[in-house]
Amino acid sequence: MAKICVPVCVRQTDGMADAIAAAARIGDIVELRADCLVDPHAAVSFLNESARAIERPLIVTMRSPEQGGRAQIDYQTRRGFWSALDHSNAGYFIDLELDMVQDFAGLESAELPVDWSRVICSHHDFTRVPDDLERIFELMAATPAGTIKIAVQADDALDCLPIFRLLNRAQAEARAIIAIGMGEAGLMTRILGPSRGSFLTYASLEEESGTAPGQLTAKDMREVYRIDHIDSDTQVFGIMGQPVGHSLSPRIHNTSFAAGGINAVFIPFEVRDSPEFIRRMIHPKTRELDWKVDGLSVTAPHKSTVMESLDWIDPAAREIGAVNTVVVQDDQLRGYNTDAAGFIAPLRKVFGSMKGARCAIIGAGGAARACSWALREQGADVTILARDIKKAQSLADRFGAKCRELSGAAYADFDVVVNATPLGTRGQLENETSATSEQLREVRLAYDLVYNPIETRFIREARAAGCEVLSGIEMLLAQAVEQFKLWIGRDPDIEVMQTAALLRLSPKA
């Protein structure tokens, strides 16, 4: 089983015991961050008196400010902290930066009777992946420390490759190692690291209590990503985009894998350069990582650019001009578009046949392309409206649709109005809408492709106008069902998918 270390970062020693107990209930190992304390030396007496009463293995850390410490504690103060601990009866691990390890390693054992097998020699870089990462590893490996820890900032999925190479090297050289990519782009190293030789991975007790960028909660590690079940045979799937941290796809697909008894994991991939990511990490003929990656979900801004890296593209996806699903099959990458099917399925439940239905699509991006194609295939009468009239006209010409100016538009002559813009998405755009209740009066159905939040301003305006409504969650789930079938070859449990998505979108989640 993977070892999950839960850090404890409190300001006062009064709350330390309770915080450690809470971390111990969900983690396999507890890390006490002494640099978080107002008075770090107050931890000395606590550790000397109470460390052995802690039910989980303990790592004690006093991080320097340069290495991510929470306080401006100088070298001598930190050195004094370590010297004051009763190492002869400790029973816990201590995490020391390389310079501190080299300092203490030069002392006579009587001056610092530390068990070097329980020392973690650590290096952190919160800005980048250093070019000399291998050299840093070699310097640390030359010390008597029992475990090497390297945590570096990953800004792109490709930044994880050097980290996985370190894990491979450490295994080959029989060196205990913790190797982590920090930040959203490093998430795969936290999830896959233990199955590839990392001594442990870090996760927070709560979403707000993380001590490093990109830390998941221990609960999500276990329940969403099922880290204890990941092994060398685990199929890897993921969503590539920028950004992807908001995506519900990991919860939907991982929950479906679990319900189906499938040894697979679905991971967010923060990707800047689609062709390079595909070449170096995904394509079976060129990838630099030995893993069983069998498929991808693709989101903005890569749905069109990914096409140049594929060996085969479904004719519908080629006509739409966008791929949102990649299947790895027989050393080839095959591209599909499940957005179109996902979009049309909820509409057909309401209308039955869409033939002759008057449909307005607001927006002219990738989502609008899939919607336009799907509606044309169903025989609907489609009109495109967008701020960029030239872009709207180009899309309309491509799919035999009409085009109108968006500014001041009225929709009384439409049966369906679709918001295919990001307006209303949780965050800065949350209070915006592409149409008001006044504009939507006499429209039968308003369909918002935004799914987070479920109740967008567009949906509220539509309800006020008396429209039937469909939220983006309907399309999200419908297209996810099609993806699952392409990857796994059978139907998922749709209710399981829906429950996973709605639980995350609930205000209480």
Q: What span, in angstroms and rounded, lies between the C-alpha atoms of 251 and 266?
A: 8
Contact 281, 293 (CB under 8 A): yes
Contact 23, 8 (CB under 8 A): yes
Do 459 and 446 meet the contact criterion of CB atoms below 8 Å apart?
A: yes
- Residue 339 has φ and ψ, to the nearest 5°, of -60, -40
Do 201 and 4 touch, CB atoms closer than 8 A? yes
DSSP codes of every residue in 454-487: SS-HHHHHHHHTT-EEE-HHHHHHHHHHHHHHHH
Active site residue 303: yes
Report the candidate in 398, 374, 383 with the shortest Cα–Cα distance to residue 443. Answer: 383
Q: How far apart are CA 342 and CA 240, in angstroms?
A: 19
What DSSP line would sit under 289-325, residue for residue?
S---EEEEEE-TT-TTGGGGG-SEE-HHHHHHT---E
- Rounded CA-CA distance 82/114 in Å is 10
Taken as a whole, the chain contains a residue count of 509
CA of 119: how far to CAs of 100, 137, 174, 178, in Å? Answer: 11, 15, 16, 12
Given CA atoms 372, 376, 380, 381 in this order, what sign does their dihedral have? positive
Helices and strands (H, E) in the chain, number of each type: 18, 20
Please give the C-alpha separations between residue 285 and each of 5, 232, 281, 288, 294, in angstroms, as whole numbers. Answer: 36, 19, 10, 9, 13
Catalytic residue among 3, 285, 303, 390: 303
Q: Which of 125, 79, 124, 118 is nearest to 102 (CA)?
A: 79
Residue 22 CB neighbours (<10 A): 17
How many Cβ atoms from other residues are within 10 Å of residue 259's Cβ? 15
Residue type at 224 in one-letter notation? V
Task: Give the Cα-Cα-Cα angle 35, 37, 43 (nearest 5 degrees).
Answer: 90
β-sheet with 201-202: strand ranges across: 176-182, 147-153, 119-125, 93-97, 58-61, 29-33, 4-8, 201-202
User: 413: burial class by Cβ within 10 Å (0-12, 13-18, 19+)?
Assistant: exposed
Residue 300's Cβ-side half-sphere holds a number of Cα atoms within 13 Å equal to: 10
Q: Looking at the annotation, which residues are catalytic?
A: 303
